[in-house]
């Protein structure tokens, strides 16, 4: 099963980074190139423990839907979302936060598996791991940009 691990150092308080990471509105902003939007469950604001969101987006030219639930939550250190429904066999995304003096280290650990046995495994290795890494890196750049400026106030009102 592929695992993507990304560390992002942000010049902002841990609480702000945590909340921006669970913001449905900021997630939508960070994935505008895929026309991703929340269509069911929590569709705006901050998602919390036990809540679900269904996303609709274009990936590889196909409109897809994915529903995930927040399965663990410890403010402001960590939360986990896991796929409930979608095209993958498995997705688990751990969001981890630690204070590093006056900065926050945000760590994403993203695990996933595709269906279709060996064909899915090949797709994971050849295409999906790098594609998903780029999506996560873009999302983290947007979180960092908002957290380090006054733009966070427009999202966390």
Q: How many domains does the chain have?
A: 1
* pTM of the shown model: 0.95
Q: 103 and 7 in contact (C-beta within 8 Å)?
A: no
User: Which domain range does residue 13 map to?
Assistant: 3-155
For residue 15, give the CATH number of its domain: 3.30.530.20
Digit-by-digit pLDDT tens for the chain (157 residues) are 899 999 999 999 999 999 999 999 999 999 999 999 999 999 999 999 999 999 999 988 899 999 999 999 999 999 999 999 999 999 999 999 999 999 999 999 999 999 988 888 888 888 999 999 999 999 999 999 999 999 999 999 7
Q: How far apart are CA 93 and CA 59, in angstroms?
A: 19
């Amino acid at each position: 099963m592929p695992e993507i691990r990304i560390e992002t150092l942000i010049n902002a308080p841990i609480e702000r980074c945590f909340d921006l990471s669970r913001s449905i509105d900021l997630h939508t902003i960070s994935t505008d190139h895929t026309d991703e939007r929340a269509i069911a469950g929590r569709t705006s604001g901050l998602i919390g423990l036990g809540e679900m969101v269904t996303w609709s987006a274009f990936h590889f030219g196909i409109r897809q839907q994915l529903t995930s639930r927040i399965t663990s939550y410890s403010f402001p250190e960590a939360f986990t979302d896991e796929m409930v429904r979608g095209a993958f066999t498995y997705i688990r995304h751990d969001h981890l936060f630690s204070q590093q003096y006056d900065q926050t280290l945000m760590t994403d650990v993203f695990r996933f598996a595709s269906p279709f046995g060996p064909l899915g495994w090949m797709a994971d290795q050849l295409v999906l791991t790098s594609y998903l890494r780029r999506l996560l890196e873009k999302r983290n750049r947007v979180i960092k940009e908002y957290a380090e400026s006054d733009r966070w106030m427009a999202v966390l009102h």
